[in-house]
């Protein structure tokens, strides 16, 4: 079992979009029983709220289910539970790294770090830019690459059975 947590600032735009897209990709590959997916924010601004209407609309337009997504703040327990913690930008990456022990085995990489030769390094926050299309395209491409990375980690686990 591999556990993946997507993280942005408020957990209403980028990280729930990534959670829903990644869940859709995982389901398409029949890996639901092998990969756990969640999202959280480094801030507590929107705890308990649904994703931004722009995120919901973009996911709906793409045929991706967004039901059940509720904003929450990242917790200390998350640093013990997840194998991957995937922030959307440098600020969230810095906040996460401050909370993790140096000897931790958690993979902590920005989402766009999984895209080879990506010129864009941070997923823009559509809460501020208003461009949910750009965010969706970047997140979708990066989630495909992330899934390839996760599948490599699953192979040794499958051989144990």
What is residue 101's predicted lDDT score, i.e. its pLDDT?
A: 84
Check if 143 is active-site: no
Residue 17 neighbours by CB under 8 Å, 6+ apart = 51, 55, 58, 59, 135, 136, 139
**Mean pLDDT taken over the chain:** 94
**Catalytic hit among 24, 78, 89, 125:** 125
Whole-model pTM over 0.75: yes
Reported as a single tens digit per residue, the pLDDT across 129-138 is: 999 999 999 9
Query: Under DSSP, is residue 136 helix (H, G, I), strand (E, B) or coil?
Result: helix
Any idea which of 35-39, 99-103, 119-123 has the lowest mean pLDDT? 99-103
Can you give the residue ranges of every domain in the chain?
2-156
**Catalytic hit among 13, 14, 78, 143:** 14
What is residue 57's predicted lDDT score, i.e. its pLDDT?
A: 97
Per cent of the chain over pLDDT 70 is: 96
Work out the burial of residue 8: count CB atoms within 10 Å of its CB; fewer than 13 is exposed, 13-18 middle, 19 or more buried: buried
Check if 38 is active-site: no
Check if 97 is active-site: no
Reported as a single tens digit per residue, the pLDDT across 104-159 is: 899 999 999 999 999 999 999 999 999 999 999 999 999 999 999 999 988 766 55
- Residue 13 per-residue DSSP state: S
- Enter the CATH code of domain 2-156: 3.40.50.2300
What is residue 161's predicted lDDT score, i.e. its pLDDT?
A: 45
């Amino acid at each position: 079992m591999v556990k993946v947590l997507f993280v942005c600032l408020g957990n209403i735009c980028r990280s729930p979009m990534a959670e829903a897209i990644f869940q859709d990709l995982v389901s398409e590959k029949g890996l639901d029983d092998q990969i756990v997916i969640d999202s959280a924010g480094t801030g507590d601004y929107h705890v308990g709220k649904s994703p931004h209407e722009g995120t919901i609309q973009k996911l709906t337009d793409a045929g991706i289910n967004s039901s059940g997504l509720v904003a929450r703040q990242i917790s200390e327990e998350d640093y013990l539970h997840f194998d991957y913690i995937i922030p959307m930008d440098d600020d969230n990456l810095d906040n996460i790294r401050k909370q993790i022990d140096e000897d931790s085995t958690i993979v902590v990489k920005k989402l766009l770090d999984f895209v080879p030769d990506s010129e864009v390094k941070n997923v823009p926050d559509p809460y501020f830019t208003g461009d949910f299309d750009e965010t969706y395209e970047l997140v979708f491409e990066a989630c495909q690459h992330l899934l390839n990375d996760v599948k490599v980690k699953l192979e040794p686990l499958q051989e144990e059975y």
